[in-house]
Amino acid sequence: MTYDSDNIFAKILRGEIPCDKVYEDEFSLAFHDINPQAPVHILVIPKGEYVSMADFTANAPSDLIAGFFRAVGQVAREGDLEDPGYRILANAGDDAHQEVPHLHVHIFGGKRLGPMLAA
């Protein structure tokens, strides 16, 4: 899939539309999901034009890959999610129902999340 620079997260990164920011550094931006599926539902996105995890890990520079994963962990730590626990998830492609074609990791927490996949 080619990157569409008009996607909503690209617009958030360019500051064209607002977000409810949780964390930002030179590599990543984290913000609250607009339609939360759990008491904590945060999205973490890399600052680069990558559609999916496969695209990102194949094509991004190593400092961006490391910085992005550090940001995911930092958001979880700063949100006091390590204990009692949380879930991270990244949808890719049609079968996973990816809606926004800019790589994003969902962080869910704040309640008992139940089994891994809904039916």
- Quick check: 30 and 104 in contact, CB under 8 A? no
Number of residues located near ligand AMP, criterion CB under 6 A: 12
DSSP state of 5: T
Taking the chain, what is the end-to-end CA distance rounded to the nearest angstrom?
A: 27
Q: What is the dihedral of CA 40, 51, 55, 114, to 10 degrees?
A: 30
Q: How far apart are CA 82 and CA 57, in angstroms?
A: 25
Report in angstroms how near the CB of residue 98 gets to ligand AMP at its nearest: 4
Q: Any contact of residue 7 with ligand AMP (CB under 6 A)?
A: no
The residue within the footprint of ligand AMP, chosen from 2, 15, 99, 116 (CB under 6 A), is 99
Q: Any contact of residue 91 with ligand AMP (CB under 6 A)?
A: yes
The residue within the footprint of ligand AMP, chosen from 35, 112, 116, 118 (CB under 6 A), is 35
- Residues lying near ligand AMP in the complex (CB under 6 A) are found at 8, 19, 31, 33-35, 43, 91, 97-100
